Structure 1
Amino acid sequence: MIYPIFKQVHLLLVVFVSTTLAFDQPYFVQHCYKADPHVNECLKDSGNLLAEYFRRGIPELGVTEAEPILIDDIGISLGNGPDGYRASFHNIEAYGVSNLTVTNVRSDLDTYQYQISFYIPRITAKAKYKSSGVLILVKASGSGDYWGEYEGVKVKIYFKAQPHKIQGDTYLSLEQMKLDFSVKNIKMGVENVHDGNTVLQAALNLFINTNAQDLLKEMKPDLKKKLVAIMSNFIQNLFAYIPYEAWVS
């Protein structure tokens, strides 16, 4: 008699539906299964789905406009002594960051550890700058507008989370995050230098574009701290809004 078989199938469907619909699956998250041998590929696809909606804005997470990414200030210091070159960049606006593609995910789901790699084709930035000291034998004290173009940006982030229960659902809280990045091609420059000092502007632009990678290396420690703070805030908001079961079960 086949009736008991249909009854068992119906019972399984009821259990499955009641489990999966215990909460509303967010439209910007793809669900993955821990037992899936290709779970990291699924998490990569989920990351790209999230990035796609991030570009449009996710009001539920307080993201109405993905760009510009705002950074308050960063600084660099070259050389020692009273004539050492110092520069600070403030009111930084970056565009193109949201055009990222997640390229790889490595995870330890038992310990809630993740390493995510992504690629950004091009980022443009603008800021106000102020500098002091001597640069290639030119007194480089001044201020003006900074611009930058960064192509072939590769980013790798690592984070660890801790689970906790809220009304029967598991939520994560961010415990640790690290970040590193590299840029293949860099173009940078300054313009509208204070007092229209064309000699200073030419000297700065020559130095900047001749030593772009070295300057980025000097900026990196400060920049990484700012980016970690921005990404930590976004991920923590994400974790607070979405139960872990929406990501992985």
Structure 2
Amino acid sequence: EYILPCNKSDPEINACVKRAFNHLRPYLQTGERQENLSTLSITFLSTLSITFLSTLYITFLSTLYITFLSTLYITFLSTLSITFLSTPEPLLIHSTSSFVLKGLSLTPFQTNCFTERLWKRQGSNPGPLNRNNDHRGIPEIDVPPIEPMNIPRMAMENGNGAVRIRAVFSNMTAHGASNYTVLSLKTDLDDYRIDMGLEIPRIEALGKYDVSGNILLFPVRSRGEFTAIFQDVTAVAKLHGKEVTMDDKKYMKVEKLLVDFTLGNIINKLLPWRINKKSNHRNCSPCHSIINKLLPWRINKKREAMNQFLNQNANEIIKEMKPAAAHSIGRHFKEFLNTAFLKIPINVWLLDA
């Protein structure tokens, strides 16, 4: 069901392995396809500006679905009251929405406050799997799904050039990687070499960051939360493996995975102000969550300027950091691939090996 086996002697071996990788894609997802998620947006709330507002009452009579809500600007807001009535499904914010209060960015909606269960739109086709399906990854061999991709910690450092930065990203969650398509593939299975070109339309990521170092001659220090959208991602992955024997069965172990990538478009936001997440989640309500976070804030002007600089120059910084990022990504996916290859004997996916 999961594996399309190939023959090493097949003259079309490259095309066969390419089909096998693309065949795995739906089984590495957890339900809703990425393109369905990204289309659920409230476009009429592109920008809402409220000035000198004493009291704002908002009542939602049915379920509110928000995937991407553009910036909401509120100035001199004294009272915000939001009531949710008869919601058959919990409110779900798939991607963090940014609220700006007097120039201060904060994220009142967090998925840890709400059920992370994805919804199913009426009339939508979620693909071969859905959220209620028990298939998560490949359970028979304990291969986890790619969606969502949880990365506890990723560190990268660039010590050369104009951008000398050490960046540590933690508690990262990314969506969209399972929507890959293998465009090209070349193999040398005698030496367990697989080179492939991939395309991913969109990757959404959020997490925490800690950046320190120097850009040009200016010292940089920033930490907080980030959200990022990477569009039109193309990548080249070069896999170097070797044969290992366990329990009298032969497996392929990934020894090295080299990754290079190109980003078509980047939408990012650094949110440097920490949010106190200590709350009683059993009684957590969106209304209380928002009001608790719309409290007076002491804005550190220097810190604000630094993060504005990082946001405005993120593309250039990412280009400088790309070699370090590619190394970290390759190391992460090497571990992921080994969870699969070290569970599947070679003669299962390569019949004449």
Kindly tell me the number of residue pairs found equivalent between the two proteins. 220
Could you say which residue in structure 2 is the equivalent of 1:48? 22
For 1:236, the equivalent position in structure 2 comes to 338
Rounded Cα–Cα distance in structure 2 between residues aligned with 1:149 and 1:117: 21
Give the match for residue 224 of structure 2.
144
Q: Which residue matches 1:29?
A: 3
Q: Does 1:211 align with 2:292?
A: no
| 1:155-213 Cα shifts (integer Å, max 9, x gaps) | 21112222245566432222322111111111111125355537557635643454333
- Deviation of 1:150 after TM superposition, in Å, equals 0.5
Q: Is residue 2:145 matched to residue 1:91?
A: no
Note the 1:77-226 alignment, pairs <5 A. Answer: 88-131=168-211, 141-165=221-245, 169-191=249-271, 193=273, 196-197=298-299, 199=301, 203-204=305-306, 206-226=308-328
Closer, same or farther: CA 86–46 of 1 in aligned 2, 3 Å: closer
Task: Give the direction of change, closer, same or farther, for the CA distance of 1:219–1:170 in structure 2 (3 Å limit).
Answer: same
Range 135-144 or range 161-170, more displaced:
135-144
> Which amino acid in structure 2 is aligned with residue 231 of structure 1?
F
Cα separation, 2, equivalents of 1:76 and 1:176: 20
Query: Could you give the per-residue CA deviations for residues 207-226 of structure 1, whole angstroms, max 9, x where no partner exists?
Result: 34543332112333443233
Normalising by structure 1, we get a TM-score of: 0.73
Q: Which amino acid aligns with 2:347?
A: E
Q: Is the 8 A contact 2:158 2:324 kept in 1?
A: no
Q: 1:191 to 1:138 in 2, by over 3 A?
A: farther
* TM-superposed deviation, 1:232: 1.4
The alpha-carbon distance between structure 1 residues 145 and 62, as it changes in their structure 2 partners (threshold 3 A), is: same
State whether residues 156 and 328 of structure 2, in contact with CA within 8 Å, keep that contact through their aligned partners in structure 1.
no
* Cα distance change, pair 76–113 in 1 and its aligned pair in 2 (3 A): closer
SS of 1:193's equivalent?
Answer: coil
**What CA deviation, in whole Å up to 9, does each residue of 1:110-155 have, x standing for no partner?**
2211102211111111122345578799986553321111001112
Amino acid at match of 1:35: S
Q: Which residue of 1 aligns with 2:69?
A: none
Of Structure 1 and Structure 2, the greater helix share is in 1
Equivalent residue number for residue 245 of structure 1: 347
- Structure 2 gaps, min length 5: 31-136, 275-296
Secondary structure (helix, strand or coil) at the match of 1:125 reads: strand
Unaligned runs of 5+ in 1: 1-26
Residue number in structure 1 paired with 2:95: none
Give the percent of matched residue pairs that are identical in Structure 1 and Structure 2: 30
Rounded to whole Å, the distance in 1 between the matches of 2:9 and 2:212 is 58
The C-alpha deviation readout for 1:53-74, integer Å capped at 9, x for no partner, is 1114211343444333233133
- Tell me which residue corresponds to 2:44: none
Letter in 2 for 1:214: E
Secondary structure at the counterpart of residue 241 of structure 1: coil
Residue in 1 aligned with 2:13? 39
CA distance in 2 between partners of 1:135 and 1:187 (Å):
21
One-letter code of the match for 1:110? D
Deviation at 1:235, TM superposition (A): 1.9
**Counterpart-to-counterpart distance in 2, 1:108 and 1:87:** 36
Rg larger in 1 or in 2? 1
The Cα shift of 1:89 comes to: 3.1
| Cα pair 2:237 2:260 within 8 Å, conserved | yes
Identify if the C-alpha distance between structure 1 residues 34 and 184 changes in structure 2 by more than 3 Å, giving closer, same or farther.
same
